Amino acid sequence: MYLARDNKLNMLWAIKDLGDSTRFMTHARKSEVSVLRKVSHPNLPRVTDIFDEGKKTWMVMDYIEGKTLEEILSSSKTIPSKQFYRWSIEITSALQYLHSMNPPVIYRDMKPSNIIIRPSGSAVLIDFGTAKSFETKRDEFALGTRSYAAPEQFKGQSDERSDIYSLGRVMEKMAGNRAVLPVKSICRKCTRTDPQKRFKNAEGLKTALYLARDSYKYAALLLTVGLLVLFSVFQSRTTAQSALRDVEEINENNRQSSLYDNALMCFYELKDYDSALTYFEELDEDQVVEAKWYKKLCKTLLSPESRREDVLLAVRGFKDFNDREVIKTDRKRKLKNDTDIARIYLMYSKGDEELLGEALNILLYVDSEYEREKTSGVNRANVTALLQSVYKNLGQVENRQENYIRAIKCGDRLKELLKDDKKSVAGRYLDNARLFEELSMFRKAEEEYEECERLCPGVSAQIYTGHLRLLLKRGAPEERIRALYNEARKVDGIDENREFQKISERTGYEQ
């Protein structure tokens, strides 16, 4: 690797010697020239040129100033949590971007020496010497760095999950021996020997990191509050001891609540049943009575022999327990469990009209309870979103127009319930517009797009790309398409949107 100066532009560039041009003709030229020139991400360097000089191939890319993570790790015993989460999330975001390219780019050599921390504190993934476009055939070379490369790489095969394995090893190195439970769980999930047991994609890993990071912040805040309480009553030993007991009780209750939230996130959002089981096993079943049923569900889902019928049998056992026992002691908890049970039915419905009907009946009951008593223990937005999903699924198997219209009405209700979150509101407009398009009610779909653009300008790239696609499909006037295209250009990150890139190519408009 060389540092070079462009004397005309007075700019510094990094130039990498890729070696013998004949050796890299298939491996590097195809994987890097065709794909890496398209890279545009804040945590990745730009590759601006690849050329042959003599018998060698050279790659020109951004010069990234800073220290490598390897240098930082060698000079520091521990990486502060704030930096750990920031760097882990930024590198995961870079992998997510590479993996989402067409075709996906597999990095294949994740290690601390290939991560540079800029003076600003951001992390950049460098050195694409071993990157490749993903194909189903075997790799030409078994590449990677021992102790960071996934086991399958040494057998000549790699995919997105191989990068996740390597990043897990890097995160282990950063976290050291003092890693908290969520981080240990994430690293363990990343570095499973069996690729099938790792995070399925970088997006799932990033969500888990955000969850772990926010749990850490909450715990720090709770500790601070506890200390303030103790200091405020230090004059009275009895009062201080009483306060300490109160803080410990609050701390334990909140710890249980945080563990339960993490467990549900892993179970429902990430579908990471291994990590979910770890959290559920930490719970006190006297405080969280559902824990034993969730543990049973996780074990069923993790068993290679389990079938859909086994999962549904476990869920129905949970429902019977909820209807028979939980309702006696905690009605609000019973309604929350009902909502989660309906969610599992929806997850496993697979077009099963009867199972969708069961989920619908449960959700209508919970929703009616909210209407009757304005039950504070129920998140009505969650219930409404699930109802919307059930109606959409029912529309695919029966009474298409009737159920889609019901789903659209749920979307309208969600706009009001989520009115303070413009991004979520934009998502509801997008759902409604797509449903109207499915029903060939194109004017209604256009109204959804237009209203969202008026109320939430620049919030959602998908709103603008969906609207542009619809206008092109319907043969709208060119000046109208051009005007909307120019508005879309103002949306942050729009140029990275693949749908927008396709529209740009189709229309020939300059980017």
111 vs 65, 172, 340, 390, CA distance in Å?
18, 11, 40, 44
**pLDDT higher at 55 or 450:** 450
Mean pLDDT, the chain, integer: 81
Closest CA to 50 of 142, 132, 135, 128: 128
**Hey, what amino acid is at 131?**
A
Predicted pLDDT at 142: 40
Closest CA to 38 of 504, 495, 509, 499: 495
Rounded to an integer, the average pLDDT of 316-336 is: 86
Task: Tell me the per-residue pLDDT of 416-431, one tens digit each, with 9 for 90 and over.
Answer: 998 888 888 999 999 9
251 vs 156, 226, 259, 265, 344, CA distance in Å?
49, 8, 12, 21, 31
3-class secondary-structure state, position 114: helix
Task: Tell me the per-residue pLDDT of 454-510, one tens digit each, with 9 for 90 and over.
Answer: 999 988 899 999 999 999 999 999 999 999 999 999 887 787 788 888 899 888 886
Whole-prediction pTM: 0.52
Quote the Cα angle for 208-211-216, to 5°: 125
Predicted pLDDT at 230: 46
Task: Tell me the per-residue pLDDT of 225-259, one tens digit each, with 9 for 90 and over.
Answer: 454 444 554 445 454 445 445 444 545 566 677 77
Rounded to an integer, the average pLDDT of 46-74 is: 85
Per the CB < 8 A criterion, the answer to whether 215 and 262 are in contact is: yes
Predicted pLDDT at 169: 93
Domain annotation for the chain: domains and CATH numbers: 2-62 (3.30.200.20)
Task: Tell me the per-residue pLDDT of 149-160, one tens digit each, with 9 for 90 and over.
Answer: 888 887 777 789
Task: Tell me the per-residue pLDDT of 271-310, one tens digit each, with 9 for 90 and over.
Answer: 778 878 888 888 888 888 888 888 888 888 888 888 888 8
Interacting residues of 271 by C-beta distance below 8 A, sequence separation 6+:
200, 204
DSSP string, 202-214: HHHHHHHHHHHHH
Predicted pLDDT at 87: 95
Which phi and psi angles does 263 have, rounded to 5°?
-60, -45
Task: Locate 322 and state its tokens.
Answer: 């909820």
Q: For 334, what's the count of Cα atoms within 13 Å in the CB-facing half-sphere?
A: 15
Predicted pLDDT at 204: 87
Give how far the C-alpha of residue 381 lies from the chain's centroid of Cα atoms, to the nearest Å.
20
Residue appearing with tokens 């996906």:
104
Per the CB < 8 A criterion, the answer to whether 68 and 112 are in contact is: yes
Handedness of CA 40, 45, 49, 52 (dihedral sign): negative
Residue 224 has pLDDT above 80, yes or no: no
Residue 354 has pLDDT above 50, yes or no: yes
- What does the radius of gyration of the chain's CA atoms come to, in whole angstroms? 26
**Hey, what amino acid is at 176?**
G
DSSP string, 423-445: HHHHHHHHHHHHHHHHTT-HHHH
**pLDDT higher at 175 or 450:** 450
